[in-house]
């Protein structure tokens, strides 16, 4: 899939629409999800134009990859979630219901999070 520069996170990264920023560095931005599913629900995004984990893993520089990984750790720590636990999740493509076509990692914390995914009915 080609990168769509008009997606909502691209607009946030260009400063065209606001976000509730919790962390930023040269390669990465993290902000609170507008529709939080848990008491802490942060989105961690690379600043570069990457659609998904697959795209990022193929094209991003080592510095961008390191920054994204470290930013997730920092966000979890900042949220005070390390001791009680947290979950990191990234949806990629249709089966995962990816809504925004700019790579983002969800960081969920603040309550028990249940099992990883709902088991399909047979």
Which positions from 30 to 69 touch ligand AMP by CB under 6 A, shown as an x/- string? -x-xxx-------x--------------------------
User: Do the beta carbons of residue 14 and residue 3 sit within 8 Å?
Assistant: no
Q: What are phi and psi of 48, to 5 degrees?
A: -75, 165
Q: Rule CB under 6 A: is residue 6 a binding residue for ligand AMP?
A: no
Q: Nearest distance from residue 57's CB to ligand AMP, in Å?
A: 17
What is the closest distance, in whole angstroms, from the C-beta atom of residue 32 to ligand AMP in the complex?
A: 7
Between CA 100 and CA 31 the distance in angstroms is 14
Backbone angles phi, psi at 32, to 5 degrees: -70, 140
- Taking contact as CB under 6 A, which single stretch among the options 29-37, 51-59, 65-73, 75-83 is the one that binds ligand AMP? 29-37
Joined together, the tokens standing for residue 18 give 């606001």
């Amino acid at each position: 899939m080609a990168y769509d520069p008009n997606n909502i996170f691209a607009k946030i990264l260009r400063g065209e629409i606001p976000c509730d920023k919790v962390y930023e560095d040269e390669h990465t931005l993290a902000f609170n999800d507008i529709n939080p599913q848990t008491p802490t629900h942060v989105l961690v995004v690379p600043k570069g134009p990457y659609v998904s984990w697959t795209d990022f893993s193929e094209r991003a520089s080592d510095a961008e990859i390191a920054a994204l990984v470290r930013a997730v750790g920092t966000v979890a720590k900042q949220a005070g979630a390390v001791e009680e636990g947290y979950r990191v999740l990234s949806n990629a493509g249709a089966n995962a219901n990816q809504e925004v076509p700019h790579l983002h990692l969800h960081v969920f914390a603040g309550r028990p999070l249940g099992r990883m995914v709902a088991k399909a009915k047979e």
